[in-house]
Structures are given as structure tokens and as C-alpha cells.
Amino acid sequence: MICLPSRFMPESIIIVSHLVKRYEKVTAVDDVSFEVREGEVFGLLGPNGAGKTTTLEIIETLNKPTSGSITVDGIDVQTRPNEVKPRIGIQLQSAGYYPYLTLTEILGMFGVAYGMPVDAAQLLAKMNLTEKSKATYNTLSGGQKQRFSIATTLVNKPRVIFLDEPTTGLDPQARVSLWDVIRELKSEGTTVVITTHYMDEAEKLCDRLAIMDRGKIIAEGTPVELIDNLLASGFESKRQIQPATLDDVFLHLTGRSLDA
Amino acid sequence: MPDRRPSQIAIAAGLTKYALLATLRNKNSLFFGLMFPLGFVLVFGALGGGPSKADIGLSDKLVASGSPLVAVLKAMGAKKDGPIRLTTKSDALLEQAVKQGNLGAAIEAGANGEVVVLTSTANPIGGGAAAGILRGVANEINLQAAAGAAGPEFKKPIEMTSRDVAGKELRYFDFVLPGMIAFSLISTATFGVAFPFLGLRRALVLKRMLATPASPLSFVVSQCLSRSVQAVAQTAIIIGVGVGLYHFELLHGAATYIEMLVTSILAICAFMGFGILLANIAKDEQTAPLIINMFNLPQFLISGVFFPTNTLPRWIQIIADNLPLSYCTQALRGISTDGKHLTNVLPQIGGMLAWSVLAYVAAAKTYRTE
């Protein structure tokens, strides 16, 4: 698979080029280059400690790279971070929210931070959280928390949203409901960058993905391409491909509920 | 694409509303900031019983002059169940002791042979009793002298004048109430700021805010403003309770009230630097109480919140008078008990702000979002 240089791909909304992040002893991100195209769901996969979160944080203006360049929507992240911020929505891994505030109020607060009016009711409705509008974040279930997190990333009507392991720790229904949310965002034209440990999730959700390990990208492409490449190398799955999985059994029996 | 960064002032103002909502719903912060100091105020107000004996100071010069009044007083003081307790000191020390309310009243020799009764209402109960006893004794001696019943040394009537060495009635309650306000302010600024900040840091709210166009400064300013509202409300309530229940006197009425509230806003803004700094130093919410108490407790003890610092050894006093909390206590007390105005307590306000500059610089250097 050939990746064209960035200047020939004007539809790329994120261009990461030779990104390096070195801490005192560890190189967390080691010469990473990839591009995310506008309107796609892009997956960043890899084991814990692979450098996914660090890479995302650098793109999100929250962390400074040691070297390399990153542009978001054509804007250089290092020199013009304040112009990148309004264009992106981010969900941090295992983030909480302001205690003592209701969901409606938290969304209002984010609206203030972005200097934009917020239709909290509409955002909550979109995430199927209307009845929780007066609840505080800590009283939500795992799935509700993640859906609310996504609602907060949409406050500023961003071009790109970053979701860092949004489905970790969720039960199957909650995961499926979150996938629906992500697909809906994609259908509205929002670019989604997502990290995950779950390969089935990446396969079902991502248009393209990059696999990171020890700070490097070791594979990149569409899920089908990556699987084809593997099979082309003579790989054979030890298991027979089943027409249904245990996930399907569970979901079939318990119902695909959004209330999880 | 046009730059659509919003104004930081609008952001800070908007965020203040939400910070305030969260603050008012935070029971811990209200407890430390209001209920605790208010509890002290109520206890001290209720404790205001009078001493059993009137403490009267005698001027060493008057004693040396062989005043007949001294002889009578000494006889009274020598009685075990007598109404007075005597102390002999130099004039300067006497005046100081009366001002501080350590003595109810004192007598010294006047320039023209008269006896001058020094009173201050720093110790109103003891003071009233002592002055009353002194006048009663002098009148008695004069009456007996006029009737020829007293000895020859009493031929010349005792002339008694009085001099007030402090401007107003000062009770311990009047002394301790501004201290309690200062206590409330520093508690709000440390416990009421460090804990929520730690919580926001743990929940990655600080980090998440960093990814918005809101600058960290706007966020901190919004926190300061919301705590200022809280601080003003607490000060207003504490003064209100003091005035309503225990006749705390506002010397210049509304002006004193407003000046105390303004001082409270300045103090909370100054102290919040320490709150944020302590939150930065603390590893998590478990270690925070220790670090906060290490900062607060010594100040509670020696900054003149509960008792005057001039009773402390000299070297401690130098430290005790220059702590952040000391400046706040001095400024509030200057306004409330000495009837000073804000312009008269500028040195104390300056001291507070100097500390706050240090605190904010250190807080900015150690600011972390995770």
C-alpha cells in the first residue's frame, strides 16, 4: 500500500508528519506519520503504552511534540494552537466532569469556554440523555457517561472529534449504542478519530486505521486491506469463521437497548 | 477561515457563573468557610461573661507619691474575697494593658495632683466595674473627708479625671469577630479551592478546559470571582450574626460594613493563590488536608485571629505579624475595631497582595492539569 505525500491529498483534515515525542528516558512517539481524511472514522489501534494517547494529545494541542509537524484543517498545531482549539472536540480517556453541575449546566459551561451558544437540550436528545438533563455526571451509567462525553465534544460544532477509548469498560449494549452515535456523527460529516483496544470495534467502525506499537505505526489502511495483506502473507486463522458471535447472542437475547 | 476566538473576559465572566453554582453546591467548602467560623463566633459571643474581680492597674509613680487612694485600694486588694485585683506598672505599660483590655482600668498621677482613671472599653465588663469601683472609693473618701471622719492625710479631696485610651468599646467579641472573618477567608481560599481544584484535576476538567479556547487564566479568574462572591456572602453573614446577636458595632455604619466586605474580596483573591499552589503541591485529595493544615494551622494560632500577637515572644511576634493571615486580620480589625478606612489599612492590604504575588507566581510555575 502506498501513502501519497500530504501535498497531493488536499482532503486530509489532519496531517501528522514525522512526529516524535521523547520524555527523559522513553520515546513515547517515534517518527509517526499519518493522515486523516475529512469525513472518515479513523482508528488508532494498539496495546496500552503504544503511544496512542500521547499522539492524540499532541494533535489536540495538549502536549508539545519533540519534533515533527502536525496540521489540523490546514492549521499548524504548534504555532497556532488557539486556532486549532475551536475546530476540534476532544474526549479524554477516563475523564470526569465538573462535580455539582447538571449535564445541561456542564454543556452550558463548555459553550462559554468556546464562546458559542449551546442548545444543550438538542445535544442531550441526540445522545439519548434527555431525561438526565438535570442529573450530575457521577450519577450516570458507564454508557451514559461516554455518550455525555461525546455530547461535550460537539458543543463547538467541531470539524474533527477525538475519542480516546470511548468504549473501554462498557457492556455490549452500551458499546453498540455508542457505535450508532459515532456512525451518526460521521453521516453528518464530522471526522472522527478514535482509539480502541477492540479489533471488532475497529473493524465495524473505522474507514481506515493505523496500528501503533512501541511508539511506531506498524500498519495502516482500511480494515479490509489490512486483513487481505495478512491473508496474502499466508496467514490462516486457527478458528473457523462463525456466522454469529457470542456478542450477537448476548445482544439478541438482551435486546439492543440505548438505555444501557 | 476567520479567527473565531472569543473574548477571554466574556469567557471568564461566563465560567464564573458555573464555578459559583458548583461552589454553592459544595457542602465541604461551605462548612469550612462559613459554618466553622460562624460556630466560633457563636461560642465566643455566648462566652462573654464578666470576670469575678475588677483588674485595676496602679501607676508606680502614683504609688510612690503616697496617694491616700492607693492605700485604700491596696487594703481592698489585699482582701481575699475583695472586689479588686491590683497590678503596679509604669504609666506606659499601664496604658498598653488597658488598651488591650488586660486591665479593666488603671489610675495614674495627673499633672496637677489629680488622679487620672484610664479606661478603654477593650474590656468593657471589667472596665466598667473597675472604673465604677475607683469612683466609688474616691467619692467615699471625699465624703468622709468632708464630714471630718477621715484621717488628716485625706484633707485634700481626691480629684479624679478620666481618660479613655481606646476610641471605642472593645470587647473580646469585637476583637475576635474580624479574626473569624479572616479565618473564614483563608479556609475558603485553601480548603474551598484546593479540594475542588484537585477534583477538577483528577477528573481531567483542567486538562479538558486547556483544549478549549478558554485560557487557564480565564479559568482561574472565574474561580477567583466565584469564591469572591462566596467570601462576601460569608463575611456579610458573620458580621450580620455578630451585629444581630451580640451587638457587634459597625463604627461608621454601612461604610465599615462595605469596607470589611471589600477587604474580604481582596483577601480571598490574595489567598486563592495559596489555594491553587497547595492544590498543585498536593499529590491527591488524600494528602491535601495535611498540606493545607500545615499552611493554615500555624497561622490560625499566631496570626492574631484568636488573641493579640503582642502577648507572644518578640521573635515569634515578628513572624506572627507578617503572615498572610496576619495582614488580613489586621486590616479587618483596623476597620472594625479602630474605625479605620481602607485608605488607612493600605499597608496591610499591600502586605496581603505582596504575599499573593508570591503565591500566584509559584502557583503559575507549578500549575498542572494532571
**What DSSP assignment string belongs to B23-85?**
HHT-HHHHIIIIIHHHHHHHHHHHT-PPPSSEEEEEEHHHHHTT-HHHHHHHHHHHSTT-SEE
* Residue B155, pLDDT score: 64
* Residue B149, pLDDT score: 66
Residue A259 pLDDT > 70: no
Residue A168 pLDDT > 80: yes
Contact criterion met (CB < 8 Å) for B212 and A62: no
Element (H, E) at A198: none
Distance to chain A for B222, nearest Cα, Å: 11
* Residue B19, pLDDT score: 85
Contact criterion met (CB < 8 Å) for A96 and B21: no
Task: State how far the Cα of B182 lies from the Cα of B103, in Å rounded to an integer.
Answer: 26
**Residue pointed to by grid coordinates 485604700:** B72
**Residue pointed to by grid coordinates 459571643:** B45
Give the bridge partners for A90, in sequence order. A162
A85 CB neighbours in chain B (<8 A) are: 211-213
Element (H, E) at A192: strand A191-196
Closest CB to A92: pick one of B196, B208, B212. B208
> Closest Cα partner for B70 from B103, B105, B127, B115?
B115
Task: State how far the Cα of B265 lies from the Cα of B181, in Å rounded to an integer.
Answer: 11
Question: How many beta-carbon pairs under 8 angstroms link A with B?
Answer: 90
Residue of A nearest to B1 (CA): A83
B196 CB neighbours in chain A (<8 A) are: 99
Per the model's pLDDT, the better-predicted residue between A166 and A6 turns out to be A166
Alpha helices in chain B (DSSP H): 8-24, 27-30, 36-46, 60-64, 68-78, 91-99, 124-146, 172-202, 205-210, 216-246, 254-281, 288-302, 314-320, 324-337, 346-366
Tell me the average pLDDT across A180-190: 92
B202 CB neighbours in chain A (<8 A) are: 96
Pick the range with the lowest mean pLDDT from A95-109, A129-143, B43-57, B230-244: B43-57
A61 CB neighbours in chain B (<8 A) are: 210-211
Residue A147 pLDDT > 70: yes
- Summarised one tens digit per residue, pLDDT across range A64-74 is 999 999 999 99
C-beta separation of A217 from A43 below 8 A: no
B6 CB neighbours in chain A (<8 A) are: 114-116
- Give the three-class secondary structure for A120: helix
* Residue A19, pLDDT score: 95
* Residue A6, pLDDT score: 47
Average pLDDT along chain B, 370 residues, taken 10 residues at a time: 67 87 76 74 64 76 81 80 81 79 79 80 69 83 75 70 66 85 91 87 86 87 88 91 86 89 93 93 86 88 80 80 92 88 92 94 88
What rounded mean pLDDT belongs to chain A?
86
Contact criterion met (CB < 8 Å) for B26 and A100: yes
Query: Is the Cβ of A219 closer than 8 Å to some Cβ of chain B?
Result: no
C-beta separation of B351 from B322 below 8 A: yes
B207 CB neighbours in chain A (<8 A) are: 62, 92, 95
Contact criterion met (CB < 8 Å) for B6 and A88: no
Task: State how far the Cα of B67 lies from the Cα of B110, in Å rounded to an integer.
Answer: 12
Chain A residues 111-140 with CB within 8 Å of chain B: 112-116
* Residue B107, pLDDT score: 85
Contact criterion met (CB < 8 Å) for B15 and A109: yes
* Residue B239, pLDDT score: 92
For chain A, the straight-line distance linking the first and the last C-alpha, in angstroms and rounded, comes to 40
Per the model's pLDDT, the better-predicted residue between A129 and A4 turns out to be A129
* Substitution target from B212, B222, B369 for chain A, most A beta carbons within 10 A: B212
Residue A256 — pLDDT band, cuts 50, 70, 90? low
Contact criterion met (CB < 8 Å) for A73 and B1: yes
Per the model's pLDDT, the better-predicted residue between A30 and A251 turns out to be A30
C-alpha gyration radius of chain B: 26
* Residue B52, pLDDT score: 55
* Residue B170, pLDDT score: 63
